[in-house]
Amino acid sequence: MKEEKNTKEETEERAEAVIYEIGYHLIPSIAEEDVPAEASTLKDTIESVGGMILSDENPKSRQLAYSIDHVVANVKNVYDTAYFGWIKFFVTPDAVARLKEAIEINHNVFRFLIVKTVREDTLAKRPVRIRQKPTGEKEKTDASTETKGPVLSTEELDKTIENLVIE
């Protein structure tokens, strides 16, 4: 009976869960081989507040657009580079405040942002390059597949456009 109650509560909690994404910067003084461990620490923090990881990207070193000051134990550090990573997860809204507090005490994370998002893949896809034919090469067309519409004079075309334009 107690197990049924626990699964019912878990189901209700999951129903209330919202999908979030955190983008974060890790300090650049972390050794390259230790960066995945730091990312894993953040994932553990999310799971410790009841979150479930949906997807993530391991942090990669990036040049920052501007220098960022970070003070730890009264020591000011200025960073021009950082390791940037992100994690998409779902968790109940009340757990987000606890997550924020837990991340703020991690001195290896000097900047982060948590936003609500959607489950779908929201990464921008690279545009596909269309190969253009070299100049002078004519496109072969099949005359039987070509469709011709009515030929309009310039005046008729102008009237049609004016009717389509909403003032």
- In this model, does residue 27 exceed pLDDT 60? yes
- In this model, does residue 155 exceed pLDDT 60? yes
- In this model, does residue 124 exceed pLDDT 60? no
How far apart, in whole angstroms, are the C-alpha atoms of residue 113 and residue 38? 17
Please give the share of the chain, as a percent, with pLDDT higher than 90: 51
Q: pLDDT tens-digit profile of 31-43?
A: 999 999 999 999 9
- In this model, does residue 8 exceed pLDDT 70? no
pTM check: above 0.85: no
Spans of all domains in the chain? 8-116
Strands 75-91 and 18-26, bridge-based pairing: antiparallel
Lowest mean per-residue pLDDT among 4-13, 31-40, 61-70: 4-13
Identify the pLDDT of residue 99.
Answer: 94
Highest CATH level, class, for 8-116: alpha beta
Lowest mean per-residue pLDDT among 2-16, 46-60, 99-113, 126-140: 2-16
